[in-house]
Structure 1
Amino acid sequence: MLKKILFALIMSVFFIGIVSGCSESSDKEEGKGSGKQTVKIGYFPNLTHSATIIALEKGFFEEEFGKDVTIETKTVANGGLFMEAMATKAIDVGTTGPGPLLNFYVKNKEYHLISGAVNGGAVLVSAGSSKISDLKDLDGKKVAIPVIGSTQDVMLRKALKDVGLKPTTNGGSVELFASAPADTAALFVQKQVDAAATQEPWGYVLENQAKGKLLLNWDEFAWGKDSPNTVVAASQNFLDKKGFSASYLKAHKKAVDFIQNNPEESQELVIKHLKELTGKELSKEEVAAAFSRLEVTTNVNEEVIQEMADISKEAGYIPSADIKGLIDLSTLEEVSK
């Protein structure tokens, strides 16, 4: 009898230990047991993501989220990869192009645009050997873009439409050729493309290292100074966490203000950050030129975003141009008061 009682006691303690251990494990998974939660911030390792880079370099995210939140970062090469990472919860919030964001949104309403980040920062450059001097001269030519469906793709389609041209994929005469921006200079030298719609600093590189000619400057390309290059995207799961979006946007706004008020220091920090990420150091001249062709801002032109959706639908990238609910600037407005 005594043995049965002892056995029952031992099993009870063992069972309680298992339950306790499961509970602790569950709490840790949710960031509760340790009092820590994690925010996964995504961005691209390039100049048009300078707001995110500066917020990281200056510790603005840590300041706003506080010591009970761990900041993790993930860099990706393009907007499609960014949105795929967000879909798999590898990224909660960060900066990406509006094109890939709206492409994903029409299929899944879980992603939102909550602030602007950079306008401009993209140019249209023709190869010196192509003899192209006007946008209409792109008729029958091949133009490099970073990725099919990218923001620069949509911007190019807008520019072509304005002069009565269309890509070959839509019955027109201009061939779009997807190529990583870093590879475009070689394509110019090898005469494999006639022009490129690209982000900075690659536009500067094409001009100065590949004998390219600036066809449309950043304030002339597509929607000009209202052309959104980079925006802040957030998952619905992130937005549902109380206070998180406000903390992120406060840090983001600090970074935007810092860049606007301290351009030279900001450029130095961006050069340092990108060298640590990629092992390559951009020249001060390249970075200064690139910064002169973009505007770091929290502003969002909602009409432009809608037109981008319309163009993406015409291109066959999305089944619908209905993006109602995509843009949510309510928290930005609150933190900007």
Structure 2
Amino acid sequence: MKKWWLAAVLLGLSAVLAACGGNGNAQGGAKEKMVIGYFPNIDHAPAMVARENGYYEKALGKGVDVEYITFPDGGTFMAALKAGEIDAGLVGPGPVLNNFSNGADVKILAGASSGGTVVVASEKSGVDSVEDMAGKTFITPGIGCTHDVQFETYLQQLGNDKLASSRIGGTLNHVTGNPASYAAMFESGKVDLAAVPEPWGSILVENGAKVIISSDDIAYGNTLPNTVLVAGSKLSEDKPELAAKLVDAHQQAVDFINDNPDKARKIAIQSIKDLTHQEMDPAIVSKAMDRITYTTDVNEAVLKEFGTSSYDLEFLKENPSFDGLVAHGE
């Protein structure tokens, strides 16, 4: 009986050890987890391509499990990053600068895309030019988000006090919402204008909206990194080897988009369909992607100018220094 009991114990112990080893890395320890976030927007195509082609998984190795979370706006992304719910991902510079100025632990590792923000007006709005905007309602993904700052900076540069958000004494009413819902909001008449990323700008135009401010004319146009790859210091400083591998995978994705635009478009269309249940016309997506430059470069000087604009628009209480924000930039 004792021999039988000892054999059972040893068998059970072997099973436990095998189970632990099966979920571990090459050294037998538990796998690390990397959670990456991004949005269902065309300017976030590098994350979609990297996910589809397995670039993150290949670069980080078998000892790291990669998971993905998608977000509707930069505010919720940054909240997740600060809470440790994600380790890295793609987001617009507006929320990054706003949170960094308030002491958030965030580093920009690389650029992802630039350009692509447009301001469009609904058919029902009666807006045919910027001069018609007074008293109208505009929508952006978030308060102080990248597209919001670009639009409001453009208006501020006109020098017309009425053409500003009511938040800072102007006549324009500002609301926020998920870009995937803008077409319905235009149709209902709830909003007149949208400062929006691609492909949603092109989709709204296809449905009858009119471009009032093009991606070339809006503030910071194509010079601003419209989307950046960011991480917290637990990754960028405590695990620099993993951070470097993540950047390498990101570079592969950007190169793939530039070398294989047709394949990248198909990946983006399918990814956005999976996330939003909206299937987009390939011709529309092709036009949208043509308005965007995919690059890992980061123009730190432009980022700092953009941060000053956020302060001038009263999204930031103080005009902070952004030194140290960019871990890998120009």
Answer whether contact 2:180 2:276 (CA < 8 A) is retained: no
Larger Rg: 1
Matches within 5 A, 1:137-176: 137-164=132-159, 165-176=163-174
Partner of residue 252 from structure 1, selected from 231, 250, 253: 250
Q: How many angstroms does 1:35 deviate by? A: 5.3
Query: Counterpart in 1 of 2:269?
Result: 271
Answer whether contact 2:116 2:222 (CA < 8 A) is retained: no
Q: 1:324 to 1:109 in 2, by over 3 A?
A: farther
Q: Which amino acid aligns with 1:329?
A: H
Answer whether contact 1:157 1:311 (CA < 8 A) is retained: no
Distance in 2, matches of 1:245 and 1:44, equals 20
Answer whether contact 1:55 1:251 (CA < 8 A) is retained: yes
* TM-score, with structure 1 as normaliser: 0.84
Q: How many angstroms does 1:327 deviate by? A: 1.5
Q: How many angstroms does 1:32 deviate by? A: 7.5
Q: Note the residue ranges of structure 2 that are not aligned, 5 or more in a row.
A: 1-12
More deviation, 246-255/105-114? 105-114
Q: Which amino acid aligns with 1:264?
A: D
Percent identical pairs in the alignment equals: 35
Q: Which amino acid aligns with 1:301?
A: N
Query: Counterpart in 2 of 1:293?
Result: 291
Q: In structure 2, the residue corresponding to 1:39 is in which secondary structure? A: strand
Q: Does 1:222 align with 2:223?
A: no
Q: In structure 1, the residue corresponding to 2:124 is in which secondary structure? A: helix
Q: Note the residue ranges of structure 1 that are not aligned, 5 or more in a row.
A: 1-16
| Deviation per residue, 1:116-150 (Å, 9 max, x gap) | 11111211112223332332332232212121121
More deviation, 236-245/171-180? 171-180
Q: How many angstroms does 1:66 deviate by? A: 1.4
Q: How many angstroms does 1:162 deviate by? A: 1.7
Q: 1:278 to 1:186 in 2, by over 3 A?
A: closer
Query: Counterpart in 1 of 2:110?
Result: 115
Q: Which amino acid aligns with 2:93?
A: P
Distance in 2, matches of 1:192 and 1:177, equals 10
Answer whether contact 1:136 1:163 (CA < 8 A) is retained: no
Q: Which amino acid aligns with 1:324?
A: D
Answer whether contact 2:198 2:288 (CA < 8 A) is retained: yes
| Deviation per residue, 1:80-119 (Å, 9 max, x gap) | 1111111111111110111111111112241011211111
Query: Counterpart in 2 of 1:5?
Result: none
* TM-score, with structure 2 as normaliser: 0.86
Q: How many angstroms does 1:314 deviate by? A: 2.9
Q: In structure 2, the residue corresponding to 1:196 is in which secondary structure? A: strand
Query: Counterpart in 1 of 2:6?
Result: none
Q: Which amino acid aligns with 1:202?
A: W
Query: Counterpart in 2 of 1:58?
Result: 53
| Deviation per residue, 1:246-266 (Å, 9 max, x gap) | 101111111111100100011
Distance in 2, matches of 1:32 and 1:172, equals 62
